[in-house]
């Protein structure tokens, strides 16, 4: 398939222009797309309709007026300006000419991308480092933080974005676009053993076009979509993103001159003319040209220097709207610090050490080492959360990724507090597996739970209520998750030796205390949520699915505590309830957002992860059933033994 990337006018005017992929100029350059692209709010600069005819693509571009100057592209005055500007830059900074397919496939993997990664870009409704944009882009397209191509070369995010932009690799035929649903793969007639396919394959799929159009029509009519239709739209978005990277439309690095909320633009003379004159932008464009040339030549020194000077040149264009260097460096450090990943290793090591110490009974030294390693892991996770809060300017609880990161932290934090209070290792043995599994889960599901820091929806733009209500609710989830971990330990003991487990009164007392903490937090959070709902939506309670399931979870745990206090069930019933009732929390937390997908809390909705959650629920219920069977069998055996002993005594 031949993708039309350069207009005839541009190629005729500038035949010797270096770096043709950045010199696509986007002057009439549009991406060949197989269907209408549904883009995010910040990507609606171009809506393209493409008719695929054989091996050629006939492109019809419809601009949605991000830049009014594009309408004047073919005016004589603007053409003269572009010609003078580009010709001067081309003559000044080199006359080496590359055809788009002739760019050298250099070993760019050895380059240091830090200076380029610190360049600011507008994406997803906020200003962020290019490093963040590249990471999010690669994950959204491939589902992975790095990509290994057909030749075995490993591509890092920044390298991938620049290569796609400059066309130093045939990304259109590289299987990079993820399809996470096997049913859609089968319906498209693709190889079911693969999960990633090339842009060319998917762009020419008439079936994908049909499903996407049906899904779009249903969405406009506010009708529910099935899983295949949802995945088709997701694939459509991945194709759009990859296309915008390849044609340069995603490279919004030129800042707006006045307000931070104004749209940034691509380094295209036609677009830049709306904000700046040629003299203002010439230094930045020169450094951009140098950087791109250095990239294609694998020149690390000149690449880093030009990228640094490019960043300064862009900042000089609009110091008021360009992010401060410390902000960009903070987010870059957050990306490369990887505090949550470090915490995973610490928690895994600490768990192994503490299990060994618990089995040895007298392993005080091992216990202290395990606790110290767990504290180090908690420090890593705390640092990551604090850095994320500083970047976003708000608590980290606005999407599923952030809430899991926060809840997993709170689980171990509560475990540490109870450990310090009661000096029993079982709290850490209950907390560490829950925290570890939660962190592993979000790292294994980057598509369903993206780690991107997105702007808040209007209803959440109140840091007071966001902090008070959402943090209180999620802290209750953490307490119940700790109780669930505690309950699993006790159920395991009941399954092995029911008599000994029943006799361990302190363990049941400690579990009761954790459940009390969770009920207190969930009740407070639910009431505060009603107050916030009255403030935001004009009503205290509306039986929204999120509200309803939060109330159901609260009633389940209140019934558990009251039933134990009233003598309706024994300690074993309390243990079973601590595990089973967490399913109500799971429904309120995950199910409403990812399964039901309805209600006013739509800002937290998503798709994916059903297999993991369903597997956990089924396995957990089977374990509970097994423990109940063992407990009842033990009671019958004890009762039978007592009867036999009583008969012997009578005789």
Q: What is the 3-state secondary structure (H, E, C) of 424-477?
A: CCHHHHHHHHHHHHHHHHHHHCCCCCCCCCCCCCHHHCCHHHHHHHHHHHHHHH
Distances from the Cα of 44 to the Cα of 62, 421, 553, angstroms: 11, 55, 41
Rounded to whole angstroms, how far apart are CA atoms 298 and 29? 27
Per residue in 131-161, pLDDT tens? 999 999 999 999 999 999 988 999 999 999 9
Backbone angles phi, psi at 252, to 5 degrees: -90, 75
Residue 3 pLDDT > 60, yes or no?
no
Residue 130: alpha-carbon gap to chain centroid: 17
Average pLDDT on 227-256 reads 93
List the one residue out of 476, 471, 600, 468 whose CA is nearest residue 543. Answer: 600
Residue with more model confidence, 95 or 557: 557
pLDDT on residue 242? 95
pTM to 2 decimal places: 0.79
pLDDT at position 630, please?
A: 84
Higher pLDDT, 43 or 237: 237
Bridging pattern class, strands 177-178 and 154-155: unpaired
Q: Rounded to an integer, what distance in angstroms lies between the CA atom of residue 160 and that of residue 164?
A: 6
* 38: three-class secondary structure by DSSP: coil
Of the candidate ranges 63-72, 190-199, 220-229, the one whose mean pLDDT is the lowest: 63-72
Query: How many helices (DSSP H) and strands (DSSP E) are in the chain?
Result: 25, 8
- DSSP-based three-state secondary structure for 155: strand
3 state SS for 197-219 = ECHHHHHCCHHHHHHHHHHHHHH
Q: Do 8 and 231 touch, CB atoms closer than 8 A?
A: no
Q: Pick the more confident residue, 99 or 397.
A: 397
Tens digit of each residue's pLDDT (9 = 90 or more) over 336-355: 999 999 999 999 999 999 99
Dist. CA 121–CA 126, nearest whole Å: 8
- The pLDDT assigned to 598 comes to 67
Contact 448, 606 (CB under 8 A): yes
Q: Are 634 and 641 contacting, i.e. CB atoms less than 8 angstroms apart?
A: no
Half-sphere exposure of 624 (CA within 13 A, CB side): 21
For residue 244, what are the CA distances in angstroms to 32, 238, 249, 311? 10, 10, 5, 22
Cα–Cα dist 607/585, whole Å: 18
Dist. CA 366–CA 377, nearest whole Å: 17
Give the mean pLDDT of 266-287: 89
pLDDT band for position 232 (50/70/90)?
very high
Pick from 198, 112, 100: which is nearest to 149 by CA?
198
pLDDT value at position 360?
82
Phi, psi at 354, each rounded to 5°: -70, -35
Residue 89 DSSP code: H
- Phi–psi pair at 191, nearest 5 degrees: -70, 115
- Bridge-based pairing of strands 126-129 and 120-123 is antiparallel
Give the whole-number percent of the chain exceeding pLDDT 90.
Answer: 47
What's the pLDDT score for residue 455? Answer: 81
Q: Which helix (H) or strand (E) holds 269?
A: helix 269-272
Give the separation between CA 265 and CA 255, rounded to whole angstroms. Answer: 7
Cα–Cα–Cα angle for 229, 603, 551, rounded to 5 degrees = 105
Span 164-177, average pLDDT: 93
Buried b (16+ CB within 10 A) or exposed e, 39-69: beebbebbbbebebeeeebebebebeebbeb
Q: 547 and 541 in contact (C-beta within 8 Å)? A: yes
Q: For residues 315 and 309, what is the distance between their CA atoms, to the nearest angstrom?
A: 10
Report whether pLDDT(372) > 60: yes
* Pairwise pLDDT comparison (540 vs 79), residue with the higher score: 540
Residue with the bigger pLDDT between 258 and 533: it is 258
> Residue 25: helix, strand or coil by DSSP?
coil
User: Measured between alpha carbons, how far is 311 from 117 in angstroms, rounded to an integer?
Assistant: 10
Q: Are 232 and 36 in contact (CB under 8 A)?
A: no
Distance of CA 286 to the CA centre of its chain: 35
- Please give the radius of gyration of the chain, using alpha carbons only, rounded to the nearest integer: 29
CA 513/CA 532 separation, integer angstroms: 29
Domain ranges of the chain: 8-328, 338-638
Higher-confidence residue of 392 and 10: namely: 392
Q: Where would I find the H helices in 143-205?
A: 157-166, 182-187, 199-203
Q: Rounded CA gap, 43 and 37, in Å?
A: 10
What confidence category does residue 77 fall into, taking pLDDT thresholds of 50, 70 and 90?
A: very low
Q: How confident is the model at residue 484 (pLDDT cuts 50, 70, 90)?
A: very high
The number of C-alpha atoms within 13 Å of 400 and in the hemisphere containing its C-beta is 26
The CA-based diameter of the chain, rounded to the nearest angstrom, is 118
Of residues 37 and 509, more confidently modeled: 509
Q: What is the pLDDT of residues 111-120, one digit of tens each?
A: 999 999 999 9
Could you read off the pLDDT of 435-450 as tens digits, one per residue?
999 999 888 888 888 8
pLDDT for the residue 459? 63
Confidence of residue 412 (pLDDT cuts 50, 70, 90): very high
Give tens-digit pLDDT for 598-633: 665 555 566 666 777 888 889 999 999 998 888 888
Q: With a cut of 70, say whether residue 383 has pLDDT above it.
A: yes
Query: Which range has the worst mean pLDDT, 51-60, 193-202, 463-472?
Result: 51-60
pLDDT, mean of residues 16-38: 35
Give, in order, the Cα–Cα distances in Å from 479 to each of 235, 403, 516, 589: 38, 14, 9, 14
Vertex 511 angle, CA 506 and 517, to 5°: 130
Average pLDDT for the chain: 80
Each residue's pLDDT tens digit, 519-550 = 999 999 888 888 877 777 777 777 888 888 88
pLDDT attached to residue 531: 83
End-to-end Cα spacing for the chain: 96
Distance CA 101, CA 96 (A): 15
Distance CA 396, CA 72 (A): 44
C-alpha–C-alpha distance, residues 47 and 44, integer Å:
7
Helix 364-392 crosses helix 400-422 at what angle (to 10 degrees)? 140
| Distance between CA atoms of residues 180 and 194, nearest Å | 10
Q: What are phi and psi of 606, to 5 degrees?
A: -165, 180
Q: Give me the pLDDT at residue 39, please.
A: 36
Band (pLDDT 50/70/90 cuts) for residue 423 is confident
Q: Considering the chain, what percentage of its residues have pLDDT values greater than 70?
A: 78
CA nearest to 461, candidates 534, 410, 381, 393 = 393
Helix axes 545-566, 571-580, angle to 10 degrees: 170
């Amino acid at each position: 398939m031949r993708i039309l990337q350069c207009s005839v006018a541009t190629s005729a005017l500038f035949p010797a222009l270096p770096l043709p992929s950045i010199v696509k100029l986007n002057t009439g350059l549009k991406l060949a797309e197989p269907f209408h692209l549904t883009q995010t709010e910040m990507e609606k600069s171009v809506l393209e309709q493409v008719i695929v005819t054989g091996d050629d693509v006939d492109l019809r571009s419809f601009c949605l007026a991000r830049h009014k100057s594009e309408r004047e592209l073919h005016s004589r005055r603007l053409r003269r300006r572009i010609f003078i500007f580009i010709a001067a830059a081309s003559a000044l900074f080199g006359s080496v000419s590359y055809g788009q397919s002739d760019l050298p496939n250099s070993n760019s993997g050895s380059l240091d991308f830090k200076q380029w990664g610190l360049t600011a870009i507008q994406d997803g409704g906020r200003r962020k480092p290019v490093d963040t944009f590249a990471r999010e882009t690669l994950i959204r397209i491939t589902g992975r933080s790095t990509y290994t191509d057909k030749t075995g070369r490993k591509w890092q995010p920044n390298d991938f974005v620049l290569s796609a932009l400059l066309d130093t690799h045939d990304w259109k035929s590289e299987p990079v676009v993820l399809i996470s649903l096997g049913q859609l793969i089968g319906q498209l007639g693709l190889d079911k053993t693969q999960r990633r396919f090339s842009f060319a394959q998917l762009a020419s799929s008439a079936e994908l076009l049909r499903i996407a159009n049906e899904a779009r029509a249903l969405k406009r009519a506010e009708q529910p979509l099935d899983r295949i239709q949802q995945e088709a739209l997701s694939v459509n978005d991945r194709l759009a993103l990859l296309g915008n990277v390849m044609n340069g439309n995603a490279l919004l690095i030129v800042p707006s001159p006045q307000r931070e909320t104004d749209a940034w633009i691509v380094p295209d003379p036609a677009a830049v003319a709306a904000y700046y004159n040629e003299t203002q932008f010439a230094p930045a464009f020169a450094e951009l040209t140098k950087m791109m040339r250095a990239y294609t030549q694998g020149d690390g020194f000149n690449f880093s220097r030009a990228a640094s000077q490019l960043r300064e040149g862009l900042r000089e264009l609009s110091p008021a709207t360009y992010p401060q260097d410390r902000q960009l460096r903070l987010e870059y450090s957050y990306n490369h610090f990887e505090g949550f990943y470090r915490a995973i290793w610490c928690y895994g090591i600490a768990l192994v050490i503490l299990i060994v110490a618990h089995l040895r009974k007298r392993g005080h030294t091992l216990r202290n080492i395990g606790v110290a390693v767990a504290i180090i892991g908690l420090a890593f996770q705390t640092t990551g959360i604090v850095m994320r809060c500083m970047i976003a300017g708000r608590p980290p609880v606005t999407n599923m990724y952030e809430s899991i990161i926060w809840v997993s932290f709170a689980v171990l934090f509560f475990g540490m507090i109870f450990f310090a209070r009661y000096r029993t290792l079982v709290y850490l043995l209950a907390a560490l597996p829950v925290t570890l599994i939660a962190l592993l889960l979000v790292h294994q599901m980057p598509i369903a739970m993206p780690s991107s820091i997105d702007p808040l929806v209007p209803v959440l733009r109140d840091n007071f209520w966001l902090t008070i209500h959402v943090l209180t609710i999620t802290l209750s989830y953490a307490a119940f998750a700790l109780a669930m971990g505690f309950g699993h330990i006790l159920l395991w003991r009941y399954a092995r030796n029911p008599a000994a487990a029943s006799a361990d009164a302190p363990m049941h007392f400690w579990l009761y205390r954790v459940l009390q903490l969770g009920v207190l937090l969930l009740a407070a959070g639910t009431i505060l949520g009603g107050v916030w709902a009255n403030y935001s939506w004009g009503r205290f309670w509306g039986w929204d699915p999120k509200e309803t399931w939060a109330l159901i979870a609260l009633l389940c745990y209140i019934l558990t505590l009251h039933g134990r206090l009233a003598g309706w069930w024994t300690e074993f019933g309390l243990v079973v309830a601590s595990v089973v009732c967490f399913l109500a929390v799971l429904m309120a937390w995950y199910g409403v957002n990812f399964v039901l997908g309805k209600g006013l809390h739509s800002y937290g909705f998503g798709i994916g992860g059903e297999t993991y959650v369903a597997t956990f629920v089924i396995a957990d219920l089977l374990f509970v059933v097994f423990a109940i069977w063992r407990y009842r069998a033990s009671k019958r055996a004890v009762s039978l033994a007592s009867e036999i002993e009583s008969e012997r005594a009578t005789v």
